[in-house]
Chains A and B, each alone.
Chain A
């Protein structure tokens, strides 16, 4: 069964460092998403991506964040200069269309120290 895969499963980084979280969406999907969940809080939408551009982003997704689909299979989330409050579980998701089921990866736990 096709699935969304995320790497790494856990990343520890120092404050101020850049991190790249990687995702491989399901191959025939066209819409890609990043969500995050700070421990004990809600799962929050960060950004959606379609046709090689951002289609929607939340107020959380500021200039420190960027997304890219560099090679037609990977979908990455970059945080340019991490802060302590960026520590969270980051989920990637993909869907075939905007109104079809979104499939989620298992998440990357980012810890900023």
Chain B
């Protein structure tokens, strides 16, 4: 079945540090890949997505590239801010026969804390 594995957290960084959160997946076919973020007290928000191999999703300085050969979708940011402190979830949505189904399969989440 489909699954998503994220690097173990929590991750603690100083402001302006480089961030990488690893994500690998197992899926049949060619899934769409997502990063969701959950700020304290809020729901999950879509951060970025990629729908096919070699696509790069980007938003708010975050980037992730869909790597089919390594089945990965690592999240990166060159310079983190205190306001980036949140929980980050990698997820996939399967696609079958050209149709995308709505169900998301999530990783376990990575807690990021950024100190001034």
Q: Chain A residues in contact with chain B, CB under 8 A?
A: 3-4, 6, 31, 33, 35, 37, 40-45, 48, 55-56, 91, 93, 95, 98-99, 101-107
Contacts and interface: CB of A to CB of B under 8 A. Distances in A.
B100 A98 contact: yes
Nearest to B101: A98
Interface of B: 4, 32, 36, 41-46, 49, 89, 91, 93, 99-109
Given A98-B100, A98-B102, A99-B100, A43 B42 contact: no
Contacts of A31: 102
A91 B108 contact: no
Interface residues of B: mostly helix, strand, loop or mixed? strand
Contact of A56 (B32, B101, B107): B101
Given A56-B103, A99-B100, A105 B108 contact: no
Given A41-B108, A42-B107, A43-B109, A95 B43 contact: no
Given A33-B102, A33-B103, A99-B100, A106 B108 contact: no
B21 to A, nearest CB: 15
Contacts of B109: 37, 42-43
Contact of B102 (A40, A48, A91): A48
A3 B43 CA distance: 10
A45 to B, nearest CB: 5
